[in-house]
Amino acid sequence: MLVFKFGGASVKDAAGVANLANVVKQYTGKQLLIVVSAMGKTTNALEKLTKAYMEQDEEMYVIFDEIKAYHYNIMSELFEPGHPVFDEVANTFVEVDWAIEDEPHDSYDFVYDQIVSIGELVSTRIVAAYLNKEGIKSKWLDVRGYIHTDNTYREGIVDWDKTKVGISKEIPTLLEKTIVVTQGFLGGTSENFTTTLGREGSDYTASIFAACLGAESVTTWKDVPGILNADPKHFADTIKFDELSYTEAIEMTYYGASVIHPKTIKPLQNAKIPLLVKPFTDPSAPGTVIKEDGQNSFTKPVIIVKQNQVLLSVSAKDYSFITENHLSDVFRLFAQNHVKVNVMQTSALSFSVCFDLNEERFEKLLSGLKQDFKVKYNHRLTLITTRHYADDTIAELTHGKTVLLEQVSRNTAQVVVK
Residues annotated in a binding site: 5-8, 43, 120
Across the strands, what pairs with 353? 312, 344
CB atoms within 10 A of CB 347: 11
CB atoms within 10 A of CB 99: 17
Annotated binding site for ATP: 5-8
How far is the C-alpha of 417 from the C-alpha of 99, rounded, in Å? 41
Q: Which residues contact 213 (CB under 8 A, 6 or more apart)?
A: 1, 3, 33, 167, 168, 171, 172, 175
* Cβ contact 51:64 at 8 Å: no
- The CA radius of gyration of the chain, in Å to the nearest whole number, is 22
Q: Nearest CA to 351 among 308, 405, 295?
A: 405
Q: CA 307 from chain center: how many Å?
A: 16
Cα distances (angstroms) measured from residue 107 to each of 51, 152, 316:
12, 11, 32
Q: Nearest CA to 225 among 238, 243, 240, 246?
A: 240
* Cβ contact 207:264 at 8 Å: yes
How far is the C-alpha of 272 from the C-alpha of 266, rounded, in Å? 10
Annotated binding site for substrate: 43, 120
Cα distances (angstroms) measured from residue 248 to each of 21, 138, 160, 254, 284:
32, 36, 25, 10, 25
Torsion-angle region of residue 160: left (phi > 0), alpha (psi -120 to 50) or beta?
alpha
* One-letter-per-residue 3-state SS of 322-365: CCHHHHHHHHHHHHHCCCCEEEEEECCCCEEEEEECCHHHHHHH
Q: Where are the alpha helices (DSSP H) in 134-201?
A: 160-175
Question: Residue 19 in 3-state DSSP?
Answer: helix
CB atoms within 10 A of CB 358: 19
* Cβ contact 277:228 at 8 Å: no
What is the distance between the terminal CA atoms of the chain, rounded to a whole angstrom? 47
